[in-house]
Amino acid sequence: MRIKSLFLLSTLALMVLGPAASPRAQQKEAQANARRVIVFVWDGLRADDLTPENMPNYFRLARSGVVFADHHAVYPTFTMMNSASIATGTYPGSHGFYGNVVYAPEASGKNAKRMSIEFSAPAFIEDFGVVEAVRESYGGRLTLVSTMLETAQAKGLTTAAVGKFGAAFIQDYKRGGFILDEDAAMPLSFAKELQQAGYPLPKNTVNAYESGVLTLANENGDPTAPAAIQRLNDDHTSNPLDRSGALSRKGFRYLTDVFVNYILPNKKPDLTIFWSKEPDATNHAYGPGTYNSIDATKMNDEILGRVADKIRELSWEGSTDIIITQDHNHSTVSGDVSHFPLRRVVDAGVGSHDPYGYSVSGFVRTAELLALDGLKAYDGAGCRNVPTLSGILSDGTELHPVKDDEHGVVCGRTQKYTSPRYSVPKPVPPGAIIVAANAGSDYLFIPDGDPKIAKAAVTSLQSRLQFGAIFVSDKYGPLRGTLPMSLIKADSKIPGRGPDIIVSFTFDENVAVSGRAGISYASSVNRRGDHGSFSRTDVHISLMFHGPAFKAGLYDTLPTANVDIAPTIARILGFNMPNAEGRVLEEAARSLLDGTSRLLSSARYLLAKLTSSNAALSPLASFCASSLAQKCMKKSRGSSSSMWLCKAVTSIPLPRKVFRTGLTSFAVSTKSPVIAALPEPVGWKLITIPEPAAIGTCMPPSVILSARGILNP
């Protein structure tokens, strides 16, 4: 009888489910259905260059994806700073990494070219050798919280980091997954696999390992070498009229070939970060809006098209999510055009005034200006020769004329210069200021932590029109005319890691060069384009989601930031990032969250909507989204909704009208209230909260959000 029953059950199962597929077919189906995420970071791409003409592949995806209208880079708007924030989902004060140029005097080591680095001076860190040297000086903890790729690897997921040196590498700085950047292929077994498959290796790959363990093929060459910058007759300033195209096109053709034809089909990564160097590199050289800049922008779309085609070829469309963002926007380097008017470029030289011409100013050397005010300031660099961008006044006078150090008295060697050297003395004298020149903002380190020096530095900065917003470490207390560094979540938790002062250079968002609005002073050398300032031009970037995890055709107007990317990806792929400070972008998702996570995310979602229109509510956000939300979750009952929203009614006077019905809710927008008065829902629970809030309540968010047309959960 038992045998007969089992036979009948087996027969029924076959009728319902069909015959079992072969092991190979099952494996192929499992691979096609595995959840995958590919993140593209288009370094320095301007949001206004995202047009259908420039980016047809992007727009094909965006029309059926989610476009975020109010997305932001983390300030300071540097590549490596944002790389760390994308990697960890946290702000610099929490992850503890400050790039692009860092001051880590305890570090020692060699760069990717196996050249010794002098870390007594600030060092440029877009290089795996420099990153690892700084990491070791930090006790192995380059970031104070785990990265997204590291966490994914701990869950058994396969990861890949591809693209720009430094920025891609920092995503996986412990070398836990597959890495292919402009410098190297890692790990060693992967590098050897590529060689066996007939691919050349990035030239510095041999320096990523012990000497002698890897040898490049005779025909290897330098597959990621950039094109040369075409310059004016002064031999230092680029020619913005050049039409040779993106500087990194050759290198990223190679990186894309390997990614599409080898990594995707053979390694099948669950999570990939593809960090493009463009249009950042070309924008730096020629400036935003130029022919070469647009060509670099189009290059990214071509790469996207190739990857999308491969995903379709592998039948992964139903299981692969694509996320596209940037690390920062890009401004034209220029001073005040009323003092330094734009000029024509004629015969590879600087011509007459032209309101539609090009910049002839903008370079600032902070150490030099501080030194002129009697401070002991050093940036660790030798003499600088910036013949055009140091500034040409209206009458044609050069603000800093080129000088010739024939005998090496000033520069230590024979050369022409516009600014003398500011090498860091050994030992560093008392009262010294070490300037890490980072482009649109500079870091000032005060090694002995003297409050008088901090105040003197602030006074000097405030006296110069080149400098704008100044952020000072909270340890110095309030300094007149400055903002606390904690306000931008950048105050270091570990002494010495972070700067004592961050200063943004002055910018003007209304002046356009090459048809692109936004100019800024910068400390970068002979660059026509740069970033890093606190301007909206540099901070405002784009974000787009496309794939099965996300809604189709959604235009999201809620504020978002680069710190939101990691927790959202973690939710998609099923791992946890408890230290993330960003939010899961639940409003863009089809269905990502379990009950607990939906509760917490919904609270943050609504509070983000409220606090974006009323700063007075912001102190409630973290309290409500954590402690009270969890209490609400435990006490909720009597409702069919699994989503619960934590709300708080503040006792602090608000500058805008508060709508209430008993204890139901609040709203803070004078134009269109996010929440109007609502009847009590089933399952109401009253909870008393300590100051600054007076009353807290729990109710299903679906009632609130759908009533106002904000969200359809």
What integer best gives the mean pLDDT of the chain? 84
Looking at the structure, tell me whether residues 151 and 293 fall in a common domain: yes
| Residues in Cβ contact with 653 at an 8 Å cutoff, skipping those fewer than 6 apart | none
Q: Where does a domain end: 142, 169, 201? A: 142
Q: Give me the mean pLDDT over the 332-357 stretch.
A: 97
The gap from C-alpha 420 to its chain's centroid, in whole angstroms, comes to 33
Instruction: Give strand pairing partners of 416.
Output: 404
What integer pLDDT is reported at residue 591 of this predicted model? 66
Q: Is the pLDDT of residue 31 over 70?
A: no
Percent of the chain with pLDDT over 90: 77
| 18 and 150 housed in the same domain | no
pLDDT band of residue 691 (cuts 50, 70, 90) is very low
Residues 89 and 106 in one domain: no
Q: Any idea which residue has 């070791």 for tokens?
A: 136
Q: Where are the alpha helices (DSSP H) in 348-395?
A: 366-372
Please determine, for residue 218, whether its predicted confidence score (pLDDT) is greater than 50: yes
pLDDT for res 134: 97
340, part of any domain: no
Give the total residue count for the chain.
713
Scanning 74-119, the segments in alpha helix (DSSP H) are 79-88, 92-95
Q: Are 360 and 534 in contact (CB under 8 A)?
A: no
Check residue 651 and give its pLDDT: 30
Same domain membership, residue 107 and residue 73: no
Q: What one-character-per-residue DSSP string does 483-546 give?
A: EEGGGGT---SSTTTS-SEEEEEPEEEEEEETTEEEEE-B-SSS-SEE--SSSHHHHEEEEEEE
What's the rounded mean pLDDT across residues 325-338?
A: 97
> Among residues 323, 358, 327, which one has the least CA distance to residue 342?
358
544 in a structural domain: no
My answer on whether 582 and 633 are in the same domain is no
Q: What is the mean pLDDT of residues 270-275?
A: 98
Domain that holds residue 657: 614-713
523-559 pLDDT, tens per residue? 999 999 999 999 999 999 999 999 999 999 999 999 9
Strand partners, 325: 41, 543
Find how far residue 212's CA is from the centre of its chain. 36
The model's pLDDT over 61-100, given as tens digits with 9 standing for 90+, comes to 999 999 999 999 999 999 999 999 999 999 999 999 998 9
User: Strands 554-561, 66-72: parallel, antiparallel or unpaired by DSSP?
Assistant: parallel
Residue 120 falls within a domain, yes or no?
Answer: yes
Distance CA 119, CA 106 (A): 7
Token pair 């006074």 is at which residue?
Answer: 459
Shared-domain flag, residues 281 and 161: yes
CA atoms of 623 and 619, how far apart (whole Å): 8
Do 5 and 133 fall within a single domain? no
Q: Which of the residue ranges 268-277, 472-481, 571-580, 695-704 would you say has the lowest mean pLDDT? A: 695-704
Distance of CA 483 to the CA centre of its chain: 22
34 falls in which pLDDT band (50, 70, 90)?
confident
> What's 286's domain CATH number?
3.40.720.10
The verdict on 577 and 710 lying in the same domain is no
Residue 530 belongs to a domain: no
CA angle at 570 for the pair 567 and 572, rounded to the nearest 5°: 115
Same domain for 106 and 54, yes or no, is no
In a domain, 618, yes or no: yes
Nearest one of 291, 451, 285, 434 to 367, comparing CA atoms = 434
In terms of average pLDDT, the best of 516-530, 623-637, 639-653 is 516-530
Do the domain assignments include residue 70? yes
pLDDT band at 33 (very low <50, low <70, confident <90, very high): low
Residue 110: inside a domain, yes or no?
Answer: yes
Distance CA 326, CA 320 (A): 20
* pLDDT band with cut points at 50, 70 and 90 for residue 301: very high
Going by C-alpha positions, the residue among 194, 191, 217, 286 that lies closest to residue 248 is 286
Distance between CA 388 and CA 196 in Å, rounded? 49
What proportion of the chain, given as a percentage, has pLDDT over 70? 78
Residue 20 CA to residue 23 CA, distance in Å, equals: 9
Write down the residue that tokens 């229109």 correspond to: 613
Residues 683 and 573 in one domain: no
Is residue 31 within 8 A of residue 503, CB to CB? The reply is no
Does position 114 have pLDDT exceeding 90, yes or no?
yes
Provide the domain count of the chain: 4
The answer to whether residue 26 sits within a structural domain is: yes
Please give the DSSP secondary-structure letter assigned to residue 276: E
Same domain, 698 and 647: yes
The Cα-based distances of 132 to 94, 107, 150, 172, 667 in angstroms read 20, 9, 16, 11, 49
Dist. CA 492–CA 143, nearest whole Å = 12
Are 151 and 263 in a shared domain? yes
Q: Let me know the angle formed at the C-alpha of 555 by 152 and 711, rounded to the nearest 5 degrees.
A: 85
| pLDDT value at residue 468 | 96
Contact 599, 629 (CB under 8 A): yes
Q: Provide the token pair at 270.
A: 């669950």
